[in-house]
Amino acid sequence: MVNVLLVFALVSAASAFHLSGQEEFHFKSWMAQHNKMYSMKEYYNRLQIFAQNKRMIDKHNEGNHSFTMRLNQFSDMTFSEFRKSFLWSEPQNCSATRGNYLSSNGPRPDSIDWRKKGNYVTDVKNQLSCGSCWTFSTTGCLESVTAIATGRLVPLSEQQLVDCAQDFNNHGCNGGLPSQAFEYIMYNKGLMTELDYPYTATEGICKYQSQMASAYVKDVVNITAYDEMEMVDAVATHNPVSFAFEVTPDFMHYHQGVYTSTKCHNTTDKVNHAVLAVGYGEDNGTPYWIVKNSWSSSWGIDGYFLIERGKNMCGLAACSSFPVV
């Protein structure tokens, strides 16, 4: 009787969605590739979500878009599950109505990539299941700014920011802002290295030891909200810049090409993910940013993505900042 009911439940779950044998085959090879294991019940639930994601990806890739999608480590998740684990759960106070960036008004190259100018950008990291993107945007920026100033590229601690930066309106795995994290480092008088204060992807007690500080911040520069030309000027003449934007479902499975979206918003209250602009360029007349993400090097273009530049795409010019060392 139990077996009959189980079979009936499985058949009806599958037939309600018309899963094909091929979709199950793709799911099983995806599971093997990503070392996934599920209970019997969870297996069919995840198979359905995977099949929906794969159909959406295949349909997108058949269309004429400036970017392609592909399966990745998130392909067994719905967007709402993804949002809970990887994005800010509530809006952050991101708005520098008038920033303190002084434009150089100097000549700006047509393209720049700080990864190619020297040893200035650390390897792509992985925030895992914790809304700590803001700490990776912060360390990525400070690592680069420090390396440009000193010639030494040292991976810095995200975990110190997760555990210790609450007094500056940061909230560990629930979100925060690079500008507020730079303020914390400035007033705290230092940030430890990744090696000395390693990442755990959970909130813990603050274990900062001032005698082990490795990087410092003298001042914080906020770029005026929505002034994307200031961002270009800063990346062209100074260093990589932290920024935030709104991630919508079409971004989760980004593979390569220039990302654009009509689904995202362009305002400060909707941005939900912080990243690092390490350069910019232009592809067949479409200007783009080169951006370092924190979803491991197996996501996107070896962990990076390109997003259209010049239109405040998905609010990317809403709150950008960088430290002075």
Contacting residues toward ligand NAG, per CB under 6 A: 64, 90, 92-93, 96, 100, 169, 177, 179-180, 183, 220, 222, 226, 266, 312
| 106: number of Cβ within 10 Å | 8
**Paired tokens of 175:** 């979100």
* Phi, psi dihedral angles at 297 (to 5 degrees): -80, -5
E strands, the chain, in order: 67-69, 112-113, 219-222, 241-245, 254-259, 273-283, 286-292, 304-308, 321-324
Is 170 catalytic? The answer is: no
Nearest distance in Å: CB 190, ligand NAG: 18
DSSP codes, 203-230? -------GGG--B--SEEEEPPTT-HHH
Among 119, 150, 320, 170, CA closest to 235: 320
Nearest distance in Å: CB 242, ligand NAG: 11
For Cα atoms 308, 312, 317, give the angle at the middle one, nearest 5 degrees. Answer: 115
Nearest distance in Å: CB 225, ligand NAG: 8
* 196 HSE (CA, 13 A, CB side): 16
Identify the sign of the CA torsion 7, 10, 15, 18: negative
Instruction: Give the nearer residue to ligand NAG in terms of CB position, either 34 or 60.
Output: 60
Is 293 catalytic? The answer is: yes
Nearest distance in Å: CB 106, ligand NAG: 22
**Paired tokens of 223:** 């770029």
Identified catalytic residue from 130, 273, 314, 319: 273
The alpha carbon of 145 is separated from its chain's Cα centroid by a whole number of angstroms, namely 19
Instruction: Give the nearer residue to ligand NAG in terms of CB position, either 92 or 144.
Output: 92
| 151: number of Cβ within 10 Å | 10
Is 188 catalytic? The answer is: no
* Residues paired with 301 in a beta bridge: 304
Nearest distance in Å: CB 180, ligand NAG: 5
Whole-angstrom distance, CA of residue 199 vs CA of residue 162: 9
Nearest distance in Å: CB 227, ligand NAG: 10
Instruction: Give the nearer residue to ligand NAG in terms of CB position, either 135 or 312.
Output: 312
Whole-angstrom distance, CA of residue 297 vs CA of residue 6: 40
The residues carrying an active-site annotation are 133, 273, 293
